[in-house]
Structure 1
Amino acid sequence: MWSRVLRSFVLVRPNLHRRSLFTMQLSSSEFKSLFNDGLNGLAEVFGKHQHEIRIAGGAVRDLLSGKRPEDVDFATTATPEEMKQMFQKAGIRMINNKGEKHGTITARLHDENFEVTTLRVDVQTDGRHAEVEFTTDWQKDAERRDLTINSMFLGLDGTLYDYFQGYEDLKNRKVRFVGSAEKRIQEDYLRILRYFRFYGRVALEPDDHEPEALTAIKENGRGLSAISGERIWMELKKLVVGNHVAHLLELMYTLELAQYMGLPPDGNVEEMKQVWKNAKDHSPKPMTILASLFHYPEEVEKMDLRLKVSKEEKTLVLFLLKYRRELRKSEEEPDNLKPFTDFIIDSRELDTKNKVCELLKYQGEEKLLAELCRWSIPHFPVSGHDLRRLGVTTGKEIGATLQKLRDIWKKSHYQMDKDDLLSYVKT
């Protein structure tokens, strides 16, 4: 892939006045595909008022990797007030300006939103939030970013601006903090989890970390306790669907981070490694992997208090804890899906099939998983109304009779129709 991407660049002589700056010219099809009426209009407004605007952050990383980014953020030398004046003069609508105090203005052109943020420096940080000051210095803005691969800018003319060897690190699949790892982490302790998340996205090998980074993470792990559960869960969910998940979760336990993240302090790491091996090729939900770390439902309650997961996510992890040993394939008929389909029929809940699919991923039952995905839940053909027409009138008797008929129907592999089943009703 890198040979293809490199062909999209032309090397430009580094700026001698800023020895750390490295520039290249990008002309890939992914980059060119970003330009439409909206982006061209945005570029025209900034050019008219002589304010520079560049693509920033993750979109640059994606473009350098030969991917078309889903989201594109922009950075500029213009202040929020200057941007508002520019957009007003041009008749451009602005929306959702809650981020203005942090320098972000969102402009809407041709039915598309463009989020543009003024270059900033962190004046003061407390490990969770930062007081920022606007600047026109691109390198100072790059210095405040977390990882080298996220600190690059891309001009709308295709010029890459790389102050901290981000391109080199991306090419070599290295994940490094900008400058001092300890300083970057202490500015925002959530960067610990961002490090692991991007490691899973970028690194080729599971254990190719810089010792300085791991030392800084271990020594500052306690700082995660001050980060909101919602922010931690947002990062953790993304991490668990990336690469090297078993290694990264095990490393988090080695570095003694779990206790600050809502995960059980003595999580079952060995089971987690096996479950990841079982499920990794089948798009498991984040909770399917994390469920393996838990021993008891009480630990899930503590996790929920810390991370504030959704009701669906909490229900899934409790389901997996309860049934991971109890609901299994038959030893006599290992290829028979029936124990699982009977369970789904009996539960009568709309999402039980999805939960059982996650259970089969957890257990590593690939063949049964494929069969269950193809299986459609059959409709039980008998209702209480049918029984009342036959003279079964009390609620208790109706319920007992329906259950009896349901059991007969299941034994027939759900093949018996209404008339066949009603023939078992004694009146």
Structure 2
Amino acid sequence: MGKLITSTVNTPEFYSLFNPNLISLINLFKKYNYELRIAGGAVRDLLTGKKPEDIDFATTATPEQMKDIFTKENIRMINLKGESHGTVTARINDCENYEITTLRIDIKTDGRHAKVEFTQDWHQDAGRRDLTINAMFLDFNGILYDYFNGRKDLEERRVCFVGEPATRIQEDYIRILRYFRFWGRISSQNGLHNPEALKAIEENAVGLSDIAGERIWVEMKKIITGPNFTSVIATMAKLGVLKHIGYAENVNIEEMDQVWKRMKGFSMLPMTLMSTLMYDSQDVMKLNQKMKMSNEEMNLLNFIVEERYKISEENIIKHYKDMVLSGRDSKLKGRILELLKYLGEEDLLTEFNEWIPPKFPVSGYDLMKQNIPKGPIFNQTLNFLKDVWKESDYILTKEELLRLGEKFVSGSESKTKLL
């Protein structure tokens, strides 16, 4: 076990947390003589000068004791599913939710889940956490409780497992991905990995094969949107991690590097970045078998992989406009914008983003008013007019199109002559 180091935190970000709701929560636990501290990621954020978006709390009170407190004080509790893991969520003053978890120790782990036992020992709870930078607590007087040198690791931009890396990983293999996620955000581009950590990751990467794809995808989205994305992915590939989470045996590292260099300044969706690693649609299918992505995530991934090498610069925007206007997919324009980011086409991206798709001016009702009978000729006429409108770069008016439609139906002119 580590040795406790205490220090102080007195930053503006820390003091900004103390709104009336948090003060009510603090006073409530004081009233019933239970300790309450800020835990995990919120502490890490505060130490790096960020105001945390979410705050997790740890306490010496058990879930039953918390429920008694909140019941006596007429405080509503929500999402009681977390109770078996020690978590109770209280809605303070009926306007803000606070997630509070009892201190725990793991008594049994299987690489995916842990059976826990409650404790009042802060040191033991810190010892079950994944990384030193996530194993700190902060009380409301600004005292930091650091059992594993997490503050120094954070200041020196190191990512270290708590205790033995292999032990931590075997408790829950998702910690391999968490290691890389935090390394990508905290370390510098050329930062060094802990050799013992990398050895443990390589030897235990196969354990990720049994982790649910949904959990993996949550972590991967955070990894690929981190500032050191390329370095992280290259290391993961080298250690054999990627092949155990749904990627092909060989991923397209070269393409990833090229896209990364030209995407600077663009804000891409995670799936756009993910597509850089794919060689073809077979790679996409293999990944989805593991990840269980949403339909739109799959559509975007397939679209980029299939379209990225197809179009020459001379006709690229016209091709994409035609594609949008020929289809009925409301999200297609968004996919094309992501593809243009992928290709690094800044000017074309601006042009296409500002383009408002025009509406085809002729409806089926207009053709009916022209006494064009329903059936094959009706559909042929409508399709013909759409083609003519497209080839005019969408400038022909409704009246002009209907006149061409009459000629098409009468057979007096071929499409070629009309144009």
The TM-score range, normalised by the shorter chain, is over 0.9
What does residue 226 of structure 1 align with? 210
Measured against aligned partners, the alpha-carbon deviations of 1:209-235 in whole angstroms (never above 9, x if no partner) come to: 111111111011011011111111111
Q: Which runs of 5+ in 2 are unaligned?
A: 411-419
Match status 1:196 vs 2:151: no
> What SS does the aligned partner of 1:266 have?
coil
Structure 1 residues 23-422: aligned runs within 5 Å: 23-110=6-93, 111-330=95-314, 337-422=317-402
Q: CA deviation at 1:207?
A: 4.1
Q: CA deviation at 1:399?
A: 2.5
- The residue type paired with residue 304 of structure 1 is N
Q: CA deviation at 1:65?
A: 1.2
Measured against aligned partners, the alpha-carbon deviations of 1:188-211 in whole angstroms (never above 9, x if no partner) come to: 100000011111111122442111
Are the equivalent residues in 1 in contact too, given 2:86–2:102 (CA < 8 A)?
yes
Measured against aligned partners, the alpha-carbon deviations of 1:283-316 in whole angstroms (never above 9, x if no partner) come to: 2122212222223323322221211111111111
Q: CA deviation at 1:19?
A: 8.0
Residues in 1 aligned to 2:313 and 2:106: alpha-carbon distance in whole angstroms: 57
Are the equivalent residues in 2 in contact too, given 1:328–1:339 (CA < 8 A)?
no
Distance 1:19 1:174, change over 3 A: closer
Residues in 1 aligned to 2:297 and 2:282: alpha-carbon distance in whole angstroms: 15
Residues in 1 aligned to 2:184 and 2:163: alpha-carbon distance in whole angstroms: 21
Q: CA deviation at 1:328?
A: 4.2
- The residue type paired with residue 87 of structure 2 is T
- The residue type paired with residue 71 of structure 1 is D
- The residue type paired with residue 83 of structure 2 is E
Q: CA deviation at 1:394?
A: 2.9
Measured against aligned partners, the alpha-carbon deviations of 1:219-272 in whole angstroms (never above 9, x if no partner) come to: 110110111111111111111111111111121111011221011111222112
Are the equivalent residues in 1 in contact too, given 2:63–2:83 (CA < 8 A)?
yes
> What SS does the aligned partner of 2:116 have?
strand
Higher alpha-carbon deviation: 168-177 or 72-81: 168-177
Residues in 2 aligned to 1:46 and 1:252: alpha-carbon distance in whole angstroms: 44
Higher alpha-carbon deviation: 126-135 or 281-290: 281-290
Are the equivalent residues in 2 in contact too, given 1:360–1:366 (CA < 8 A)?
yes
Are the equivalent residues in 2 in contact too, given 1:327–1:340 (CA < 8 A)?
no
Residues in 1 aligned to 2:109 and 2:190: alpha-carbon distance in whole angstroms: 32
Are the equivalent residues in 2 in contact too, given 1:264–1:293 (CA < 8 A)?
no
- The residue type paired with residue 174 of structure 1 is R
Q: CA deviation at 1:280?
A: 4.8
Q: CA deviation at 1:369?
A: 1.1
- The residue type paired with residue 353 of structure 2 is C
Residues in 1 aligned to 2:305 and 2:116: alpha-carbon distance in whole angstroms: 45
> What SS does the aligned partner of 1:398 have?
helix
- The residue type paired with residue 113 of structure 2 is H
Q: TM-score, normalised by structure 2?
A: 0.93
Measured against aligned partners, the alpha-carbon deviations of 1:37-79 in whole angstroms (never above 9, x if no partner) come to: 2211111111011111000011111111111111111000111
Are the equivalent residues in 1 in contact too, given 2:280–2:306 (CA < 8 A)?
no
Q: 4+ residue stretches of structure 1 with deviation over 6 A?
A: none
Residues in 2 aligned to 1:396 and 1:170: alpha-carbon distance in whole angstroms: 70
Higher alpha-carbon deviation: 342-351 or 139-148: 342-351
Residues in 2 aligned to 1:392 and 1:267: alpha-carbon distance in whole angstroms: 55
Measured against aligned partners, the alpha-carbon deviations of 1:306-356 in whole angstroms (never above 9, x if no partner) come to: 1111111111111122212223432xx6xx622221221122311110111
Are the equivalent residues in 1 in contact too, given 2:263–2:341 (CA < 8 A)?
yes
Q: Which runs of 5+ in 1 are unaligned?
A: 1-17
Aligned length: 406
Residues in 1 aligned to 2:135 and 2:91: alpha-carbon distance in whole angstroms: 26
Q: CA deviation at 1:282?
A: 1.5
Are the equivalent residues in 2 in contact too, given 1:324–1:359 (CA < 8 A)?
yes
Residues in 1 aligned to 2:221 and 2:375: alpha-carbon distance in whole angstroms: 46
Higher alpha-carbon deviation: 359-368 or 144-153: 359-368
- The residue type paired with residue 359 of structure 2 is H
Q: CA deviation at 1:377?
A: 1.2
Residues in 1 aligned to 2:375 and 2:236: alpha-carbon distance in whole angstroms: 55
Higher alpha-carbon deviation: 406-415 or 371-380: 406-415
Measured against aligned partners, the alpha-carbon deviations of 1:12-36 in whole angstroms (never above 9, x if no partner) come to: xxxxxx9822222222222122122
> What SS does the aligned partner of 1:252 have?
helix
Residues in 1 aligned to 2:284 and 2:339: alpha-carbon distance in whole angstroms: 17
